[in-house]
Chains A and B, each alone.
Chain A
């Protein structure tokens, strides 16, 4: 009897447990549903403006596509063409690596130098800070046009060089001087990075300098062994952002190479002599002027992969030289 009596009690317990599990699952699903509902604006935006364009461009990179007609699947041939047949691709790679190799270190060094000078200013700091930062607020196209005027062979900079009896380069008309001209423009626009370095420099604890001074450290040793390690996270940030911007370098070079060309024929993209053909200007030319949008999509994916790889390498390498206060990484 006892056994019989226990049996009916065991069954409802199982049912109860299952019911409880079901309820819990339903409640979890409802919670998830509410969370998804609240997240839906972001999900829709992310899907429409990130996932879909990226998937579409990945698909297009395997097609022959000209915007005006349906894409045709061509497999890997766009990628094969890039590495084996497109001479201009390698020219654009060389120019891009050049600008990264020179512009990024110069910008970082110039920004640190300017920030150090500003830390020494006793009066009118906010004025100087504004003056240094102001170029960053100038739109890139306007800045490039301004520098076309400044570096005109008959312009103010060459007139100044003439007064000093120094050589007067043809700047943006001479393929040897186009990229150095861009370096000047790039250093002029270093305000945003400089502000970061200024904040980092002001954040270095003064007791570290006092301790170093007591130990007899020279100004250079204090800079090398106190300042640099303390601002290394900002240097790292500036280098990563600089390298990414270098790979995507476009507006300044495009505006300068096309300046004065209203017919689109006297100054080919990259003028003069392909010295300003950067990776993204080549991508633009192939996509929007040669109607090779599939190939341009392949170029953009290679650019994406290279930027990702370089950023990962920089992040891994940073463990050796970037010091975070409190050991945070």
Chain B
């Protein structure tokens, strides 16, 4: 028995010894003179891009050769965050990583999995506040560790069907939540059997990516965490107000009717196809990202639409013009062999006006630096300009990052689903319980 125990402990110690080393990237910034003579070298970049987007991004990444002829980039697509984490853990990370999951940035910063870029920024005298809008820092740094930089960004705005609104006598989109609810009810049309024919607005959580607690919470500047870092879903009354507003609108139209309408349209699947509710004229207004403009064009939808800032709470007019932002982040993984060269590439992909403009145009995303926001030709499209202005707004932000990724958002999302279905008898008690559960998840490490 004793021998077995010793063997088990030995194996466990061996297992522990074989796990990832901490790695230290806290030294001074590695530097390289890009204009000096260099042997040709290849940097590997991993991202989850595929198909058309992979081609566009690869072309832009490889355009660095024009700036540094000695540098070649090999772009590997289909590599999600899990693959990047495994590579970091195994000591064979790519030279630059592109992540679609800004919610993971806190963990990357906290553990040093992505190196702190502050030292590189300081060494190159890059004034962060001057280069990027404030909202960009809400999802690229954690506790003063700038372990990622934005490549392109997304913003959520209001899309509205001009024809459907004018048919009901509306010439302007809603600016407040009251106006949104009022217009949503008036724009909703019913079939003879009482089912929904056209939805003025779909307030159902879980239906399309614009309908999340995050986008709705921003309409009231609701705070996820208090100053002490404790979950504040119950203590910030804006959450309860937001949920009550949403439930009142759901109940006014009918939860079952809305669910049937959403499901019969194909549910979440229709969001990425030409049967999208807004593109087919079945939804008059919705919150969605700037990428929808590209989808509407690609799907050859005939919807006559315009875009506006998301409506905000009636008592918070100063919030109008801002919204939820967040997008693709890039960083230098721990353990890269050529950190100085990796930095040159990261800097190029996060600050170069030409690269960002080309990439934004190709992917139809919002460019992330102040300079590109001013210079991009995408601003000439009034529908797209809305999103550029949203990104520029200093009140636009992402939800606070935590080391538990998007677990808090997922837990709140599930709670909101139960709430809208009428399965939460006491909202305040439910929010308190949710706060407690999120706090426990945070305590788990």
Contact = CB atoms under 8 A, between A and B. Distances in A.
Contacts of A60: 15
B267 A271 contact: no
Contact of B111 (A58, A68, A172, A294): A68
A51 interface: yes
A41 interface: no
Contacts of B86: 67
Contacts of A260: 266-272
Interface string A146-168: 00100011100000000000000
Given A66-B445, A153-B263, A264-B101, 9 more contacts: A59-B16, A60-B15, A65-B19, A69-B111, A69-B113, A81-B444, A170-B260, A266-B208, A290-B405
Given A52-B11, A288-B82, A148 B269 contact: yes
A47 to B, nearest CB: 9
A134 interface: no
B259 A265 contact: no
A267 interface: yes
A93 to B, nearest CB: 16
B268 A70 contact: no
B444 A266 contact: no
B412 to A, nearest CB: 9
A69 B413 CA distance: 29
Contacts of B362: none
B413 A273 contact: no
Contacts, number: 160
Contacts of A173: 259, 262-263, 267
A306 interface: no
12 contacts: A51-B11, A55-B12, A59-B16, A65-B19, A67-B20, A68-B20, A173-B259, A173-B263, A265-B214, A266-B209, A288-B82, A289-B405
A310 B187 CA distance: 56
A66 B107 contact: yes
B21 interface: yes
Given A265-B209, A289-B406, A69 B268 contact: no
Contacts of A174: 259
A18 interface: no
B59 interface: no
A70 B19 contact: yes
A60 B18 CA distance: 12
Contact of B85 (A67, A72, A172): A67
Interface in A309-325: none
Interface in B382-430: 403-407, 409-411, 413-414, 417-418, 421, 423
Q: Which of B82, B207, B269, B437 has the most CB of A within 10 A?
A: B269
Interface string A43-60: 000000001100110111
Contacts of B77: none
A269 B265 CA distance: 22
A271 B212 contact: no
Contacts of A268: 409-411, 413-414, 417
Interface string A242-273: 00000000000000000111111111111111
Interface of A: 51-52, 55-56, 58-60, 64-72, 74, 78, 81, 85-88, 148, 152-154, 170, 172-175, 259-274, 285, 288-292, 294-295
A88 B212 CA distance: 20
Q: Which 8 A-B pairs have the closest CB atoms?
A: A260-B268, A56-B15, A268-B410, A153-B263, A260-B269, A55-B11, A68-B111, A59-B12
A144 B14 CA distance: 40
A62 to B, nearest CB: 9
B417 to A, nearest CB: 5
A175 B445 CA distance: 31
Contacts of A85: 440
Given A152-B263, A289-B406, A273 B107 contact: no
A55 B214 contact: no
Interface residues of B, number: 64
B222 to A, nearest CB: 16
Nearest to B289: A263
Q: Which of B14, B108, B410, B433 has the most CB of A within 10 A?
A: B410
Contacts of A291: 104, 107, 403-405
Contacts of A274: 414
B209 A262 contact: yes
B404 A290 contact: yes
A285 B441 CA distance: 12
A27 to B, nearest CB: 27
B438 to A, nearest CB: 11
Given A66-B107, A273-B417, A285 B410 contact: yes
Nearest to B445: A64
Contacts of B112: 68-69
B89 A68 contact: yes
B272 A262 contact: yes
Nearest to B7: A55
Contacts of B272: 260, 262
Q: Which of A68, A78, A87, A173 has the most CB of B within 10 A?
A: A68
Contact of A292 (B108, B417, B445): B445
Nearest to A62: B12
Contact of B266 (A52, A74, A154, A269): A154
Contacts of A267: 206, 268
Contact of A262 (B207, B271, B414, B433): B271
Contacts of A67: 20, 85-86, 89
